[in-house]
Amino acid sequence: MRRRSTALLCLAVWAVLAPSPARAQQIRIDHPMRAEGLWLFPSALDENAWYWVPAQARLATDESGRPRFSFLRYVKNAPSADAGTQGITQAEGGGILHFLVTYDTPRDVVARAERALRRKAGEAAELRGPVVFTEGRYSLVSSIVLDGGKPEDVLLASGNAPVMEGSQIALAFELPAERATLLQRSLEMANPDIALVFEMTLEGLTDAFDADVVVKWDEVKKHSAWGTRADVPLGYIVGSLTLGSGGGAGYLLPGLGGNAGGILDELHRSQAIEVRTRGEDANMSELLDKAVTTLVELLFEPVEAEDAQPGGMGSLTDRLAEFGEDKDEFGAPMLPLVGISAGYRAKEIRRSGVTTISLASRTPQKRVTTIAFGVGDLWKRHGGDASMFRTVNLADPAFEQREVHVGIDGAILPEFDAYINSVTTTLRKRHENGATTVQEIVVDRTTFEREANDFRMLYGWNGDADRDAWLRYEFQTRWSFKGGGVYETGWTATDSNMIDLYAPYRRKVVRVLGDAKALAEQGVRAVVVNVEHDFFDGRRRERLRLRPDQPGETPTVELTLPLDQREYDYTVTWIRGTGERLETHGRDGTGMIFVDELPAAAGGATP
């Protein structure tokens, strides 16, 4: 059957899905306001309600106001193998860095921003609270000096960050002797070269426009990007698309870069993609943003920096610098599509024919904001505090104890409300004398908040003559899910002072796309989409019942997949007015299910 031109299927979703806190806010992503250094977004539900984007990160503090920070340097006395007749040689050792950080917005800044908001939007406008992010990542960067005197930025760690303002994340790192010394020297400087960067994703609804995005899949597949599956380096898309009957406009869309803008321009010139408008639209810039973002979602897939081709994404510090360079018309930094540690690459295309995506409905889109901070004059204020800065000699093992930090992924906190009952981590240390030390912590929402994500287990010396062997232990984790599912890892051997726990699953949003008019012309009364996927307690199922004659927002379903699963099974059932049912099955991982192309009926071809 020849592929027909299709339009976005905007159908009513009968199934009721529980909204996340971020979706419950429903901000208007196309209408930000800059006030007193804060990004403010209006609510899509209440014209007087606004939300701010958290503006700063800082070290968390205890009840007395002291930073929750510690840096322990340790020395192990050992003879040098190549010292010759030297009387003074270098000892072995290293350092352990541990601190808690949080991001928030000072109340006085919020108050000033609200006064500025009312001057611009009217006295009825008010700030209701911070934006609840959909996801976040952190990157810890430090600068070291190489032998030639040239500084080099080092990514010490990265991971998921908490999505709610005020949440804390615990970080712990074990450093070799040389880097421990460099870190100490850096802390003693007036401006230490240690930075933590949060990349936080927010989601909101776009405006509706009288326009379509057209994708001709057979022509798109001819482009070299889909022949090589090459990574798209991070940066910015800069290009131009022709609109309507010849009018044109440029666009600058942060988040994609390298040759990505060129790819879209080349596809446009070859008419593989088009943006068709009807009439004049005063918000041409917003229309272009929505059109290009729609194309990005159709043609590219996100990729983390560690999964990209070597050298394909540039340096982290270069990306951080770029984020501060591009400004909007008011001189404020722009909000990109992805952060400094992620990018996109071309999707594997399995479609053919033509797809037309209508921009006539409000759809959810994402933006990324970065929050960075340095440790500041921490040494100057607290360098004499032995609980924060200490150097010890490990000469007497009988008085030593091994402290193991357990870091819980900051993104897990809201999961305790939706998916997770508890996480149990068990440490097992087998000593040389045959004794065994077992430690265990159980984390649920209550303990997570009470302990401020600062969990520790420890074991001591017990006849352990081999100091390197003493550092090694085993651990395992047990995840208990709501509804009865359980996932338990095996025992893992390690000598790290930090156990990092991440949710053993990922979220994937699946969208249903198609042409409501074409379905109605073929006599389709309803479409039922069943999606099945693996989970730790077996198979899970999601169902959407759709009506072509009841337009609504783009239907979506959010799946929770184990980390080693990227695909899901789906069944699409078309129900005609005559009662006839047509059905097709498939397996996919693109996040899109097209439902406007019916399979052939049992008695003949589809009309």
pLDDT per residue as tens digits for the range 42-77: 998 899 999 998 878 888 888 888 888 889 888 775
The angle subtended at Cα 508 by Cα 535 and Cα 265, nearest 5°, is: 155
What is the C-alpha to C-alpha distance for residues 305 and 328, in angstroms, rounded to an integer?
26
Looking only at the bridges linking them, the beta strands covering 524-535 and 568-576 are antiparallel
pLDDT tens, residue by residue, 495-535? 888 888 888 888 888 888 877 888 888 899 989 999 999 88
Residue 573 has pLDDT above 70, yes or no: yes
* Distance spanning both ends of the chain, measured CA to CA: 10
pLDDT tens-place string over residues 415-432: 887 788 899 999 999 999
Q: What is the pLDDT of residue 1?
A: 38
3-state helix, strand, coil in the chain (%, to 5): 20, 45, 40
Task: Quote the pLDDT of residue 344.
Answer: 64
CA atoms within 13 A on the CB side of 222: 11
**Long-range residue pairs from 324-331, CB within 8 A, at least 24 positions apart, any chain:** 326/236, 326/252, 326/254, 328/34, 330/34
The reply to whether 411-503 and 504-607 are identical in fold is yes
Is 283 a residue whose pLDDT tops 60?
A: yes
Least confident of 12-26, 45-59, 287-301, 473-487: 12-26
- Domain boundaries along the sequence of the chain: 31-82+93-206+368-395, 209-360, 411-503, 504-607
Q: Residue 485 has which token pair?
A: 């599912």
Least reliable range by pLDDT among 104-113, 121-130, 148-157: 148-157
pLDDT (tens digit per residue) in 291-337 = 777 777 777 776 655 444 444 444 444 544 444 444 443 333 445 44
Percent of the chain clearing pLDDT 70 (strictly above): 72
pLDDT (0 to 100) of residue 118: 95
How far apart are the C-alpha atoms of 253 and 261, rounded to whole Å?
A: 9
Residue 235 pLDDT more than 50? no
Q: Which fold has domain 411-503?
A: Immunoglobulin-like (2.60.40)
**Two tokens at 457?**
């287990």
For the four alpha carbons of 376, 377, 381 and 385, in that order, the dihedral sign comes to positive
Which residue type is seen at 501? L
pTM of the shown model: 0.59
Q: Provide the pLDDT confidence category of residue 24 given band limits of 50, 70 and 90.
A: low
Reading the block at residue 210, the tokens are 């009288």
Q: Which of 413, 34, 411, 366 is nearest to 202 (CA)?
A: 366
Q: Using the predicted structure, report yes or no on whether residue 229 has a pLDDT greater than 50.
A: no
Q: According to the CATH classification, is domain 504-607 in 2.60.40?
A: yes
Phi/psi at 304 (5° precision): -75, 155
